[in-house]
């Protein structure tokens, strides 16, 4: 794995051929598989849950599964995802009654905790949590759907989170999620992101390997 990770979001994959789709992006060089969980409650859409995560593991997916929970409540579902083979589990602070408890719960179940910040969510949520996190997910769209347009203020937010991560002296991944494509991935990397979620830009392209190569070329041309 390189210092920069690309995490294709299977939200934009062909769900009727999910195993093949995941194999294809891994063969194309994906570092993580981003797994969007939506509950038609915290966000106005409904997607996939622990059985699908477990099925991907049984299918042979060896790269970490990066579970992005857009659900309320959060805690009930965490042990199920740990059992299903999740690597990272990120959640939205607004969706948890007790943020610190949820972080501990994810860690206790052997997964790596992440906090997901919506475009209008302030960074104060990191004040007492950053030292316990393995990942900060900066949303560059409002959560709920793939294929939305990148919100430019996410770049300033990435810069600010990167500055905070530098002060704590332990590795925390900085992930950007929403509207990321070949044309703006370099700006995200320059702002400090090291982990890049892309759904429609990858699964909507004809050649996944070519798209991943183009994204990596943009990042390394920084």
Residue ranges binding ligand DX5 (CB under 6 A) = 9, 11-12, 34, 36, 68, 141, 143-144, 146-148, 177-180, 197-201
CA atoms within 13 A on the CB side of 43: 21
Judged by beta carbon, residue 93 or residue 178, the one nearer ligand DX5 is 178
Binding mask 51-90 for Zn ion (x = CB under 5 A): -----------------x----------------------
Classify 79 in phi/psi space as left (phi over 0), alpha (psi -120 to 50) or beta: alpha
* Cβ neighbourhood burial of 63 (10 Å; 0-12, 13-18, 19+): middle
Exposed, middle or buried: residue 45 (CB in 10 Å: 0-12, 13-18, 19+)? middle
Q: Let me know if 177 is a catalytic residue.
A: yes
Q: Which of 31, 36, 39, 66 is catalytic?
A: 36
157 close to 189: Cβ distance less than 8 angstroms: no
11 binds, among ligand DX5, Zn ion, none (CB under 5 to 8 A by kind): ligand DX5
CB of 35 to Zn ion, least distance (A): 8
- Taking CB under 5 A as the criterion, the residue among 177, 187, 208, 219 binding Zn ion is 177
**Residue 134: partners with Cβ closer than 8 Å, 6 or more residues away:** 88, 112, 113, 114, 171, 172, 173
Active site residue 36: yes
User: Taking the complex as a whole, how short is the minimal distance between the CB of residue 90 and ligand DX5, in angstroms?
Assistant: 9
The residues assigned a catalytic role are 36, 177
């Amino acid at each position: 794995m390189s210092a920069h990770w690309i995490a294709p979001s299977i939200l934009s994959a062909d769900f009727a051929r999910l195993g093949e789709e995941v194999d294809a992006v891994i063969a194309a060089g994906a570092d993580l598989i981003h797994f969007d969980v939506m509950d038609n409650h915290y966000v106005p859409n409904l997607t996939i849950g622990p059985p699908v995560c477990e099925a991907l593991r049984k299918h042979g997916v060896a790269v970490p599964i990066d579970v992005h929970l857009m659900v309320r409540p959060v805690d009930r579902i965490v042990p199920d995802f740990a059992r299903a083979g999740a690597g990272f589990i990120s959640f939205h602070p607004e969706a948890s009654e007790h943020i610190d408890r949820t972080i501990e719960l994810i860690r206790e179940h052997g997964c790596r905790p992440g906090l997901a910040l919506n475009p209008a969510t302030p960074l104060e949520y990191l004040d007492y949590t950053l030292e316990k996190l393995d990942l900060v997910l900066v949303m560059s769209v409002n959560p709920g759907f793939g294929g939305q347009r990148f919100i430019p203020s996410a770049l300033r937010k990435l810069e600010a989170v990167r500055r905070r991560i530098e002060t704590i002296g332990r590795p925390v991944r900085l992930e950007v999620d929403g509207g990321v494509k070949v044309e703006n991935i370099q700006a995200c990397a320059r702002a400090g992101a090291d982990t890049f979620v892309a759904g429609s830009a990858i699964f909507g392209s004809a050649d996944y390997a070519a798209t991943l190569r183009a994204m990596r070329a943009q990042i390394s041309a920084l």
